[in-house]
C-alpha cells in the first residue's frame, strides 16, 4: 500500500454539515484511509492509498457532491468572493420580490384572482431561482444520505409552496377551510435563510482576516542579482538558496536570508510584534515579509519560499484552524443525527394535528418544525470560535498550533520552566565591576579582538560607559581557550580571564579580589579577573539576566492557582539563585534532557502540566507535557514539538494564552447554549405545544427568522474574542 496525503481547497460549503457530508461520503470510498474537512477554513486533508484511489478521482467525488476544488488559496479566495457576491445578489432579488408579494397581498391593486396568480409567479422566481441552491445541495445531500440543513430548507419551503400551488390551481380538492396560500411564507423563509448565509459568510471571512493579512505579507517579486551584477525582477517563489537579492528602502524582503552588504532599519512588527524597527547589518538574519524602512541591503537567500518563517507560520495557522477539539466533535455528532430526528418530529407533528382534525395546523406546524430546526448554528458553534481564537492569538504573538489544548488549558496545575533562554535572556552580561575606569579603554581595545561571548559582553558593557575612545596598538595577543586573553598595550601586560590564567602567569591575586572572586562564584555568577602589569586590578561579574517579564508572569500564574516549577540543566547554585529571584519554591537542577522528561511524567501524576522551553534539549519535555510552549527564538525541533509558539518571545504571552483558552471555551459553551436554546424552545413552539393553552403557534415565517438569527448570534458571539483583553 502506498499512502499519500492530499491537501485541497474546497469552495461551495455552506455550513459544517457540508464538510461533515464530504467526510462521510469519502470515508466510504475504497482507498480513502482518512479525511479531515474544515468548513471554517474551506480546506481538507485526505490520506489515500494511491494504488486504489487517485487525486483526480478524489476531486471528481467532491465535485459530484456539488462542491468545487480550487487550484490554490488565491483561486479559493476568488471563488469565495464570487460566492459571497452571488449570495448578496440572490438575497437582494429574493427580498425585493418578497416585499412585492406582501405589497400585492395587502393591497387592492389587482383583483383577487389576478393577484393570486401574480403572487404565484413572483413566488416561483424566489422558490426556484433564489432558492435553487437549497434544492441542488439538498438533493445531493439526500443521495449521499447526509441530511443537512439544505434538506430542511428545501423540504419546508417546498411543502409551503406546493401546497399553495395545489390550492390555487385545484381548489376543489381541498375543503373550504383549508384553502390558504403560503407563498409569502415560503418566500420570506428563503430570503431570511439567504440573509443568514450572507451574514455568516461575511463574519467567517472577517474571522480569518489576520491569516489573510499574513498571506498578503509574502512579497511576489524579488530583485535578483545575477553573476554579471545585473538586476532582474523574478517571482519570489523562484528564488533558490544562495541567490543574491537587492532590497531597497520601502520594499518587503522577499525571502529569509542573511545580509551580506549594507545596513537598514527593518520593520518586523507583523512577524514578531516588535513595535520599533530593528537595525540590521552584515551578518544579521532577515525574514521574508518584513519591511526595509531605511537603507539598501544585499541579501543571500538561506531558505526557499516554502520554508520561510512566514510560510511556516501561515501553514501552522491554517492547520490549527482546520483542527477539531473534542467538544467540536461532540457537536458535529449531534448535528448529524439532528436532521433525521427533526424530520421524524415533523411527520409526527403532522400526524398528531391531522388526528385531532386540524389539517391547517398540521401543515403549518410540520413545516415550521422543519424550518426552525436547521442545525447550522449548532455546527458552527465550535469552528467559528476556534477560527476567532487562533486569529486573536496570532495577533498577540501567540501561535496556537494545536487547538485541542484549548480545552485542557484551564485544568493546568503546574507550569514548568526551563531556565536559560526561557526565564533568562540566555545571553551573558556584565552586571558589576570594581575595575578602576582608568583601565577601561585598554580593556575595551583588547576585548574587541575576541569573538568570545564573554568578550562581547565586556565590550557591550564598556560601550555603555563614558570612556575615552583611544586606539591602542596591541602586541603579543594570545587568546587562550578555557583561560582568557593576554596581550601587551604600551609595554604593559594585560590579562583578562579566570584564576587559572593568572596563576599560570605567576600573578598573585590580591586578597580583596580573591574574596570577590570566590563570593560571586558561590552565588552562581561568572567572574573574569583583570591583571595589568603583573597586578590584579579587579574583576567583571557576569550573569545571565532574568527576562523583564519573568517575575510578572510567575506572579500571574500563582494568582491563577498554577504552581511554577524550575527545571534546568544548570548547577544547583545558579538554579537556586534564579528560583529565589522569581520566588519559585520547587527546583530541579543539573538534569539532562531524558531526566527532564521523566520528571515531567512524575509531575503529571498530580495534575496537568504546561512546559515552557526553547532548546533542542527541551523538545522531549515539550512533547511529553500536556501543553508544550516554546519560544520563536528557540530551536526548530522545540518549535515542531510545541503546541503553542510565542512569536515575539514575550513570557507574559504564556498567561495571555491561558486567558485566551479559557475565554474561547467559554465562548464555545455560550455558542452551544444559543444553538440549543433556539431549537429547544423553537421546536415545541413550532409543533404547537402551547396552542391548546393560549393559541400560540410559530408560523413558518417566524421559524425562518429565528433559525437564521441563531446562526448570526453564534457568529457574532465568537467575534467577541477579537475584542477581549488578554
Residue with the larger pLDDT of the pair 605 and 392: 605
Q: Rounded to whole angstroms, what are the CA distances from 230 to 242, 246, 295, 532?
A: 16, 11, 20, 54
Cell of 378: 449548532
The model's confidence at residue 554, banded by pLDDT at 50, 70 and 90, is: very high
pLDDT above 50: residue 660 = yes
pLDDT, average across residues 295-309: 86
pLDDT, average across residues 407-423: 87
Produce one character per residue of 44-53: b if its CB has 16 or more CB atoms within 10 Å, e if not.
bebebeeeeb
Percentage, residues of the chain above pLDDT 90: 15
pLDDT, residue 12, reads 79
Residue 418 appears among annotated catalytic residues: yes
Question: Smallest Cα–Cα separation from 611: which of 363, 418, 452, 462?
Answer: 418
The model's confidence at residue 213, banded by pLDDT at 50, 70 and 90, is: low
pLDDT above 90: residue 378 = no
pLDDT, residue 566, reads 93
The model's confidence at residue 273, banded by pLDDT at 50, 70 and 90, is: very low
pLDDT, residue 557, reads 93
Question: Smallest Cα–Cα separation from 610: which of 418, 326, 419?
Answer: 418
pLDDT digits (tens, 9 = 90+) for 226-249: 888 888 889 888 889 999 999 988
pLDDT, average across residues 17-32: 80
Question: Smallest Cα–Cα separation from 664: which of 415, 416, 398?
Answer: 398
pLDDT above 50: residue 35 = yes
The model's confidence at residue 100, banded by pLDDT at 50, 70 and 90, is: very high
CB 690 within 8 A of CB 696: yes
pLDDT above 70: residue 212 = no
149-169 vs 700-719: helix crossing angle, rounded to 10: 160
Distance CA 517, CA 540 (A): 9
Query: Looking at beta carbons, which pairs linking 89-95 to residues 24 or more positions away fall under 8 Å?
Result: 90/129, 90/130, 90/133, 90/194, 91/130, 91/191, 91/194, 91/195, 91/198, 93/125, 93/126, 93/129, 93/130, 94/126, 94/130, 94/131, 94/187, 94/190, 94/191, 94/194, 95/191, 95/195
pLDDT above 80: residue 374 = no
* Cβ partners under 8 Å of residue 410, min gap 6: 658, 661, 662, 665
- Report the residue count for the chain: 726
What domains are defined for the chain?
Answer: 3-71 (3.30.70.100), 90-211+319-385+667-722 (no CATH), 221-307 (2.70.150.10), 403-423+547-642 (3.40.50.1000), 426-545 (3.40.1110.10)
**8-state DSSP, 559:** H
Give the DSSP per-residue string, 500-544: HHHHHTT-PPPHHHHHHHHHHHHTT-EEEEEEETTEEEEEEEEEE
Distance CA 714, CA 670 (A): 8
Q: Dihedral through CA 168, CA 171, CA 175, CA 176, nearest 10?
A: 70
pTM of the predicted model, to two decimals? 0.60
pLDDT, residue 481, reads 65
Mean of all residue pLDDT scores within the chain: 81
Order of all β-strands in the sheet with 492-497: 424-433, 535-546, 526-532, 492-497, 484-489, 474-480
Instruction: Tell how strand 644-646 and strand 627-631 pair up.
Output: parallel
Question: Which of 186-200, 360-374, 495-509 tops mean pLDDT?
Answer: 495-509
**8-state DSSP, 557:** H
For residue 677, give the 3-state DSSP assignment: helix
Question: Would you say the C-alpha torsion 637, 640, 643, 644 has a positive or negative sign?
Answer: positive
Distance CA 331, CA 529 (A): 67
pLDDT digits (tens, 9 = 90+) for 307-325: 887 777 666 656 655 555 5
> Could you give phi then psi for residue 498, rounded to 5 degrees?
-85, 180
Give the DSSP per-residue string, 246-306: EE-TTPBP-S-EEEEEEEEEEE-HHHH--SSPEEE-TT-EE-TT-EEEEEEEEEEE-S-GG
pLDDT digits (tens, 9 = 90+) for 131-164: 998 888 778 777 766 666 677 778 778 877 888 8
Catalytic residue among 148, 256, 418, 544: 418
CB 389 within 8 A of CB 683: no
Distance CA 376, CA 714 (A): 10
Question: Which of 528-542, 604-618, 674-688 tops mean pLDDT?
Answer: 528-542
pLDDT, residue 94, reads 93
pLDDT above 80: residue 542 = yes
Q: Is 202 exposed, middle or buried, given 0-12, 13-18 or 19+ CB atoms closer than 10 A?
A: middle
pLDDT, residue 178, reads 64
Q: Where is 460: in which H helix or E strand?
A: helix 453-463
pLDDT above 70: residue 560 = yes
pLDDT above 70: residue 648 = yes
The model's confidence at residue 563, banded by pLDDT at 50, 70 and 90, is: very high
CB 368 within 8 A of CB 698: yes
Cell of 457: 559582553
Percentage, residues of the chain above pLDDT 70: 86
pLDDT, residue 309, reads 75
Q: Rounded to whole angstroms, what are the CA distances from 379 to 133, 148, 370, 668?
A: 19, 10, 17, 11
pLDDT digits (tens, 9 = 90+) for 491-539: 889 999 888 888 888 888 888 888 988 888 887 788 889 999 888 999 9
Residue listed under C-alpha cell 435553487: 132
**8-state DSSP, 126:** I
Q: Which three-class secondary structure string do you get for 52-113?
A: CCCHHHHHHHHHHCCCEEECCHHHHHHHHHHHHHHHHHHHHHHHHHHHHHHHHHCCCCCCHH
Q: Give the CA count within 13 Å in the CB-facing half-sphere of 655.
A: 21
The model's confidence at residue 210, banded by pLDDT at 50, 70 and 90, is: low
The model's confidence at residue 275, banded by pLDDT at 50, 70 and 90, is: very low
Amino acid at each position: 500500500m502506498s499512502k499519500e496525503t492530499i491537501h485541497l481547497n474546497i469552495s461551495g460549503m455552506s455550513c459544517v454539515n457540508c464538510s461533515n457530508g464530504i467526510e462521510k461520503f469519502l470515508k466510504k470510498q475504497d482507498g480513502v484511509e482518512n479525511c479531515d474537512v474544515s468548513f471554517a477554513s474551506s480546506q481538507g486533508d485526505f490520506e489515500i492509498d494511491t494504488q486504489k484511489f487517485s487525486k483526480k478521482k478524489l476531486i471528481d467525488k467532491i465535485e459530484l457532491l456539488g462542491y468545487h476544488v480550487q487550484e490554490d488559496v488565491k483561486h479559493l479566495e476568488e471563488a469565495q468572493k464570487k460566492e459571497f457576491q452571488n449570495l448578496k445578489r440572490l438575497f437582494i432579488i429574493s427580498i425585493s420580490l418578497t416585499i412585492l408579494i406582501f405589497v400585492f397581498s395587502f393591497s387592492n391593486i389587482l383583483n383577487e384572482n389576478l393577484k393570486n396568480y401574480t403572487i404565484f409567479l413572483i413566488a416561483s422566481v424566489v422558490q426556484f431561482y433564489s432558492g435553487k441552491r437549497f434544492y441542488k445541495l439538498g438533493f445531493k445531500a439526500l443521495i449521499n444520505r447526509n441530511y443537512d440543513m439544505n434538506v430542511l430548507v428545501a423540504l419546508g419551503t417546498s411543502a409551503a409552496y406546493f401546497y399553495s400551488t395545489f390550492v390555487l390551481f385545484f381548489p376543489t380538492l381541498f375543503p373550504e377551510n383549508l384553502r390558504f396560500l403560503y407563498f409569502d411564507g415560503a418566500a420570506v423563509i428563503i430570503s431570511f435563510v439567504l440573509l443568514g448565509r450572507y451574514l455568516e459568510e461575511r463574519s467567517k471571512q472577517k474571522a480569518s482576516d489576520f491569516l489573510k493579512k499574513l498571506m498578503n505579507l509574502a512579497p511576489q517579486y524579488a530583485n535578483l542579482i545575477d553573476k554579471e551584477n545585473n538586476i532582474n525582477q523574478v517571482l519570489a517563489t523562484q528564488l533558490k538558496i544562495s541567490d543574491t537579492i537587492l532590497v531597497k528602502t520601502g520594499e518587503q524582503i522577499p525571502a529569509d536570508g542573511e545580509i551580506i552588504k549594507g545596513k537598514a532599519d527593518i520593520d518586523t512588527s507583523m512577524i514578531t510584534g516588535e513595535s520599533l524597527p530593528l537595525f540590521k547589518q552584515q551578518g544579521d538574519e532577515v525574514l521574508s515579509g518584513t519591511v526595509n524602512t531605511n537603507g539598501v541591503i544585499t541579501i543571500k537567500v538561506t531558505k526557499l519560499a516554502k520554508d520561510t518563517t512566514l510560510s511556516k507560520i501561515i501553514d501552522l495557522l491554517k492547520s490549527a484552524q482546520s483542527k477539531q477539539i473534542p467538544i467540536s466533535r461532540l457537536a458535529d455528532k449531534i448535528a448529524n443525527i439532528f436532521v433525521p430526528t427533526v424530520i421524524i418530529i415533523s411527520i409526527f407533528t403532522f400526524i398528531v394535528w391531522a388526528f385531532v382534525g386540524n389539517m391547517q395546523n398540521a401543515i403549518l406546524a410540520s413545516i415550521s418544525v422543519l424550518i426552525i430546526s436547521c442545525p447550522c448554528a449548532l455546527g458552527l458553534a465550535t469552528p467559528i470560535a476556534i477560527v476567532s481564537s487562533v486569529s486573536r492569538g496570532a495577533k498577540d504573538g501567540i501561535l496556537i498550533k494545536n487547538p485541542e489544548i484549548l480545552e485542557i488549558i484551564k485544568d493546568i496545575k503546574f507550569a514548568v520552566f526551563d531556565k536559560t533562554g526561557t526565564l533568562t535572556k540566555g545571553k551573558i552580561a556584565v552586571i558589576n565591576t570594581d575595575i578602576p575606569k582608568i583601565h577601561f579603554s585598554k580593556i575595551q581595545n583588547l576585548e574587541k579582538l575576541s569573538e568570545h561571548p564573554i568578550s562581547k559582553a565586556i565590550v557591550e558593557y564598556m560601550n555603555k560607559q563614558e570612556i575615552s575612545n583611544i586606539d591602542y596598538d596591541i602586541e603579543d595577543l594570545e587568546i587562550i581557550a578555557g583561560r582568557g586573553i593576554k596581550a601587551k598595550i604600551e609595554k604593559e601586560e594585560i590579562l583578562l580571564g579566570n584564576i587559572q590564567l593568572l596563576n599560570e602567569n605567576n600573578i598573585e591575586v590580591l586578597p580583596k579580589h580573591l574574596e570577590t572572586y570566590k563570593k560571586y562564584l558561590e552565588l552562581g555568577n561568572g567572574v573574569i579577573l583583570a591583571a595589568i602589569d603583573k597586578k590584579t586590578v579587579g574583576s567583571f561579574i557576569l550573569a545571565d539576566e532574568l527576562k523583564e517579564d519573568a517575575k510578572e508572569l510567575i506572579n500571574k500564574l500563582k494568582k491563577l492557582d498554577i504552581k511554577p516549577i524550575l527545571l534546568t540543566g544548570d548547577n544547583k547554585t545558579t538554579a537556586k539563585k534564579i528560583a529565589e529571584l522569581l520566588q519559585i519554591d520547587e527546583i530541579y537542577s543539573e538534569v539532562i534532557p531524558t531526566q527532564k522528561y521523566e520528571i515531567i511524567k512524575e509531575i503529571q501524576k498530580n495534575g496537568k502540566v504546561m512546559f515552557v522551553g526553547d532548546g533542542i534539549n527541551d523538545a522531549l519535555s515539550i512533547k511529553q507535557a500536556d501543553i508544550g510552549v516554546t519560544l520563536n527564538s528557540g530551536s526548530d525541533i522545540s518549535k515542531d514539538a510545541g503546541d503553542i509558539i510565542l512569536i515575539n518571545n514575550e513570557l507574559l504571552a504564556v498567561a495571555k494564552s491561558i486567558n485566551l483558552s479559557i475565554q474561547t471555551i467559554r465562548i464555545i459553551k455560550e455558542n452551544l447554549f444559543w444553538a440549543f436554546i433556539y431549537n429547544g424552545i423553537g421546536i415545541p413552539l413550532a409543533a404547537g405545544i402551547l396552542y391548546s393553552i393560549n393559541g400560540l403557534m410559530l408560523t413558518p415565517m417566524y421559524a425562518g427568522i429565528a433559525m437564521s438569527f441563531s446562526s448570526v448570534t453564534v457568529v457574532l458571539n465568537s467575534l467577541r474574542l477579537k475584542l477581549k483583553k488578554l
